[in-house]
Structure 1
Amino acid sequence: MTLIYGHRGAKGEAPENTLVSFQRCLEHGVRRCELDLHLSRDNQLMVIHDPTLKRTTGRRGKVAQHNADDLVGYDAREGGPGWITPCPIPRLAELFEQCDFDHWQLEVKSASKTRAARTVTAIAELAERYGLNDKVTVTSGSREVLRALQRLTPHLSRGLVAEYAWLDPLKVADHYGCDLLALNWTLCTPERLQKAQKAGLHVSVWTVNEPALMRRLADFGVDSLITDYPGLAVTTLSHRNTVAGT
């Protein structure tokens, strides 16, 4: 059974990484999501993909240069599907409060040693506060972030985001004690998938938006797909008795 994760909520249907995007994902019955995190200037976890504000809000500057109270006032509708009402950048705490997901993939981008430590500690504190320790996997392609997770928050599930094959992703995942491998779909061969699953890794493949590719990867036996179109994925995979998000 292949599970479905909404990518940045339902990125193809609503402005990415906003509350309405995650609500749209849940409306499709998809109870798993993937999102991106950056720290604000006052060390709050903000749900936004880029380190800069330009692409999604049209504003200048970096997320890290703004306090959370200011960031939640910025409209993040730019560069995505049309939306009538403003869509603020959310705090992760807001999503934890308002969205009842069964599992969260929380991706942390590259960071300095100090920033990685602050970020993973903040995630651990928030997961503990909302009772979500067993519903969170923190993922990253950054060795610095994975090291911080291993050292500071060993109780949290962690995952490697693998986009390129220049290093064996299975060896890297094993080195950092990961239990999830978020694999670019172009790297997902049946052989690599089987080897990863034999090593005990949950293999989550991204970003999968074409029905034919969804079916092919499900036939391979991937554990989960990350998609911009969770509704389409539910429809496409339903005849395979796939249950979204369970």
Structure 2
Amino acid sequence: MTLIYGHRGARGEAPENTLASFQRCLEHGVTRCELDLHLSADGELMVIHDPTLKRTTGQRGKVAAHPASELECLDARSAGPAWPQPCPIPRLRTLFEHCPFEHWQLEVKSASKVRAMRTVEAIVELTREFGLSHRVTVTSSSRSVLRALQQLAPQLARGLVAEYDWLDPLKVAQRYQCSLLALNWTLCSPERLRKAQQLGLHVSVWTVNEPALMRRLADLGVDSLITDFPGLATATLGNR
């Protein structure tokens, strides 16, 4: 059976990476999600995709330049879709408190060595506090983040995010002892999928929004798909 992950919550239906988006995902009965993390100036894990604020809030500046208390006062509806109430940038802590997901893919964006280590340490601390260490896989395309995970958080599952074909993603995933491969769906050939699964990798493909593509990838045997439309995915794959 192919599992379904909500991409940044339910990005196609509510403003991405906001509490409203993750609650909408859960309303569809989808209990797995993927989200993006950046550190605030005061070391809080904030749920936002870009390192800058412009696209989702309309404000200038970098996430890392502001404390969490300022960031969670910003309205993150600018990238759409339309939503009636303000949607703050949430702390990961807030989602852990309000959203009972059974599994989380926590993607950490590219970071310097020092920032990668600080981010990983914050994830270790927060997942331990909430007793969620067994329910998260920390993913990244950044070698510095994957190295920091190996060194500082061997107890947390790791995943490689692979968007381009210029490096063999299976070799990279093995090098960093990953258990999950988050693969751009265009890279998911039957041969690569078979080899990855033979290596024991859970293959999660993104971003899959068309019903015909959902069915094709499920028939191919992917372990999970990440979608902006978790309700549509449930309706498409639910009777399989």
TM-score w.r.t. structure 2 length? Answer: 1.00
After superposition, the CA RMSD in angstroms is: 0.4
Q: Deviations over 1:93-136 (max 9, x none)?
A: 00000000000000001000000000011001000000001000
Counterpart check, 1:36 vs 2:36: yes
Q: Which stretches in structure 2 are left out of the alignment for 5+ residues?
A: none
Q: Which stretches in structure 1 are left out of the alignment for 5+ residues?
A: 241-246
Residue 80 of structure 1 deviates from its aligned partner by: 1.3
User: In 1, Cα distance between the equivalents of 2:169 and 2:123?
Assistant: 24
Counterparts of 1:156-167 in structure 2 under 5 Å? 156-167=156-167
Runs of 4 or more off by more than 2 Å in structure 1?
Answer: none
Partner of 1:167, secondary structure, is: coil
Q: For residue 231 of structure 1, what is the aligned residue in structure 2?
A: 231
Partner of 2:238, secondary structure, is: helix
Partner of 2:110, secondary structure, is: coil
Q: Percent identity?
A: 77
Q: Deviations over 1:196-225 (max 9, x none)?
A: 000000000000000000000000000000
Residue 238 of structure 1 deviates from its aligned partner by: 1.3
TM-score w.r.t. structure 1 length? Answer: 0.97
Residue 239 of structure 1 deviates from its aligned partner by: 2.1
Partner of 1:203, secondary structure, is: strand
Residue 228 of structure 1 deviates from its aligned partner by: 0.1
User: In 2, Cα distance between the equivalents of 1:60 and 1:158?
Assistant: 32
Residue 138 of structure 1 deviates from its aligned partner by: 0.2
Higher relative contact order (CA 8 A, sep 6+): 1
Partner of 1:10, secondary structure, is: coil
Q: For residue 27 of structure 1, what is the aligned residue in structure 2?
A: 27
Q: For residue 76 of structure 1, what is the aligned residue in structure 2?
A: 76
Q: For residue 87 of structure 1, what is the aligned residue in structure 2?
A: 87
User: In 1, Cα distance between the equivalents of 2:238 and 2:69?
Assistant: 41
Residue 165 of structure 1 deviates from its aligned partner by: 0.9
User: In 2, Cα distance between the equivalents of 1:79 and 1:127?
Assistant: 29
Q: For residue 129 of structure 2, what is the aligned residue in structure 1?
A: 129
Q: Deviations over 1:118-177 (max 9, x none)?
A: 001100100000000100000000000000000111100000000011110000000000
Amino acid at match of 2:106: L
